Amino acid sequence: MAIDWESLGPGPAGAEIATLVFRSARQVRLPGADLSEVDASVFDAYLAGLRDAGADVPAPVARLGYAAAVSLRWSLPVALLRALADPAARARTERGWGRPWDAIVEAWVPLTAFLLDRADEARALGGIA
Q: What integer pLDDT is reported at residue 14 of this predicted model?
A: 81
Q: What is the pLDDT of residue 60?
A: 92
Note the pLDDT of residue 62.
Answer: 92
pLDDT by residue for the chain (129 residues), tens digit each? 555 555 566 777 888 888 878 777 776 666 555 778 888 888 999 999 989 989 889 999 999 999 998 888 777 778 778 888 899 988 998 898 888 988 888 877 888 888 888 989 999 998 875
* DSSP state string for 77-95: HHHHHHHHH-HHHHHHHHH
What is the pLDDT at residue 124?
93
Q: How far is CA 101 from CA 32, 35, 88, 114, in A?
A: 15, 20, 12, 20
Q: What is the DSSP string of 33-54?
A: GGHHHHHHHHHHHHHHHHHHTT
CA distance 60 to 76: 26
**pTM, full prediction:** 0.74
User: Which residue ranges make up each domain of the chain?
Assistant: 15-125
